[in-house]
Amino acid sequence: MRVPGLSDTVPRAPYTGTVTSESTAPGLTRRILAFAGLPFLSLVTPFLFLPILARVAGAEAWLAIAVGQSVGAFLALIVALGYNTVGPTMVALVSPEERPALLRRSVLARALLFVPCAAIAVAISIVIAPEGYRADAGAMSLAMTLTGLSSAWYMIGLGRAGLIVVYEILPRIIATIAAAAALLLWGQVIWYPLLLVAAALVSVVWYVLRTVGMDTLLQKRPGEIRAVMAFNRSAMATELVAGAYNSLAVTFVSLTTTTAQAASYVSGDKLYRIGQYSTSALGNALQGWVVEDNRTQFAARARRAILLHAALGAVGFASFALLGPWLSGLLFGTAVAIDEGTALGLGAATFGIAIGTALGRVILIGLGARREFLACVIIGASIGVPAILLLSANFGAAGGAWGLALGELASVTTQLIFVVRKWNSPRGAAPAR
């Protein structure tokens, strides 16, 4: 797949990046395997608990946990302050000496946002969740909001997938195994979110203190936090708008359709997150890579990124179409399995998010085109949110899935237009100001 106008000569940007030897195919393969192989543990971890939850606790508990995850994930986007989108590129482009200071500034700014966001997430989840499981939904939303404080984006920028395993994934695995045991022994769902809260706190504090140090972290520098928030406002806005039709899709479906249809959509959403994870892992491997070597190989690497994401998206669509209903029934039980219409809609959304990651997070962000990326996401949300609400109200889980797909595909179409225009402009691929 070749994007029209993507020339092989890209003007060098005024950045000093990290020089690596990973421009060769073996080097790229190693990088992708590092980000998609070791963190594969993050993908399978929830499946130590979720199949047990669906069968032991019932549809209402299943939906309550999903609502808490949905609302908390959206508020976590505010806490994250856009670093998940632009952070890896920022880390890759600054000198090693400057990187701890970058992490320190981000932690202080995000910590300030966490408290109000956590309170809002808990309150909303308690109101929306089925009666009898509101405390579980509130605790789950708190656990998800805490993920906004994660330093995974920093580790991605370093190109160190092993750090993500040690500081992010292993604590979560331990918490999930303990929660599954508690559910089987005592039938209490609340242990899952509470243990995830503990794991998230350990992960955040452990890595920040190791990298920055307590004394440096607590140094007072007037105006620093305000400057960080101003600089990252477009990236945060991009993530928030995208979350309006992605992270909150479960919440929208649960508000507009029956509990049974919403529970079925949740099962499809769990499988959809696998597609999202796979795409995210590939994007993580490539986001810093395309801007390395002072962007001298940006065009060639960008084309390769598009091809790899397109192939992954096609596999995701085919997997949903052929295996979606059967796999959801096998994992979560036939009572909450998805139908063929829902599977096809989520497959289309998976293809859209794969292409969108290459065009948006890898290429447009790599070019510094934050405002253009934000415009694409706004278009996707303006179509996706009404589509999810309207279609799920009329067609249940399948309607919600196709509403999500419409939003993703609209965003991708706009991203493609901006990428082509960027390369055909007089300034070429120079970063946007």
Per-residue model confidence (pLDDT) at position 427? 54
Is the domain of 307 the same as that of 391? yes
Cβ neighbors of 64 (< 8 A, separation 6 or more) are 129, 130, 133, 134, 136, 137, 140, 189
Per-residue pLDDT of the chain (433 residues; tens, 9 = 90+): 434 334 333 333 333 344 344 445 555 666 666 665 555 566 667 777 888 888 888 788 888 999 999 999 999 999 999 898 888 888 888 888 889 989 999 999 999 999 999 999 999 999 999 888 999 999 999 999 999 999 988 988 887 878 888 898 889 889 989 998 988 888 888 999 999 999 999 999 999 999 888 877 877 777 888 888 888 888 888 788 877 777 889 889 989 999 889 989 999 998 998 778 788 878 877 877 777 665 667 888 888 889 999 999 999 999 999 999 999 999 888 888 999 999 999 999 999 999 999 998 888 888 878 788 889 989 999 999 999 999 999 999 999 999 999 999 999 999 999 998 887 765 554 444 3
Give me the long-range contacts of 302-307 (CB less than 8 A, separation at least 24). 302/3, 302/6, 302/358, 302/362, 302/363, 302/366, 303/1, 303/2, 303/3, 303/6, 304/28, 305/358, 305/362, 305/363, 306/1, 306/3, 306/355, 306/358, 306/359, 306/363, 307/1
Q: Which residues of 163-197 are buried (b: 16+ CB within 10 A; e: fewer)?
A: bbbebbbbbbbebbebbbebbeeeeebbbbbbbbb
- 95 with 221, same domain? yes
Cα–Cα distance, 174 to 169 (Å, whole number): 9
Which pLDDT value is given to residue 38? Answer: 55
Q: Cα separation of 159 and 244, whole Å?
A: 29
Query: b or e along 50-75 (b: 16 or more beta carbons within 10 Å of the residue's beta carbon)?
Result: bbbbbeebbbbbbbbbbbbbbbbbbb
**Are 337 and 413 contained in the same domain?**
yes
Whether residue 240 is found in the same domain as residue 148: no
Residues 308 and 257 both lie in one domain: yes
Count CB-CB contacts under 10 A for residue 217. 16
Do 222 and 244 have their domain in common?
no
d(CA 179, CA 123): 23
Query: What is the torsional sign of CA 377, 114, 279, 292?
Result: positive
User: Is the domain of 245 the same as that of 359?
Assistant: yes
DSSP character at residue 92: H
Q: What is the pLDDT of residue 11?
A: 34
Q: Are residues 51 and 173 in the same domain?
A: yes
What are the respective helix, strand and coil percentages of the chain, to the nearest 5? 80, 0, 20
Task: Decide which of 172, 201, 231 is a domain's last residue.
Answer: 231
First to last CA, the chain: 29
Print the domain residue range for 161: 42-231
Distance (Å, rounded) from C-alpha 209 to C-alpha 98? 16
Residue 47 CA, distance from chain mean position = 18
Q: How far apart are CA 433 and CA 430, in angstroms?
A: 9
d(CA 236, CA 249): 19
Pair 208, 242 in one domain: no
Query: What is the structure's pLDDT at 122?
Result: 97
Give the residue from 248, 259, 256 showing the smallest Cα distance to 59. 259
Considering the domain architecture, whether residues 176 and 320 belong to the same structural domain is answered as: no
Q: DSSP readout, 151-192?
A: -HHHHHHHT-HHHHIIIIIHHHHHHHHHHHHHHHHH--TTHH
Q: Which of 171, 206, 231 is the last residue of a domain?
A: 231
What is d(CA 195, CA 191) in angstroms, rounded to the nearest whole number?
6
Question: Which of the 8 DSSP states describes residue 429?
Answer: T
What is the tally of structural domains in the chain?
2
Cα 415 to Cα 309: distance, rounded to the nearest angstrom: 14
Q: Does residue 28 share a domain with residue 147?
A: no
Residue finishing a domain among 201, 231, 261: 231
Q: What is the pLDDT of residue 292?
A: 67
Considering the domain architecture, whether residues 215 and 101 belong to the same structural domain is answered as yes
Structure tokens, 180: 């599954």
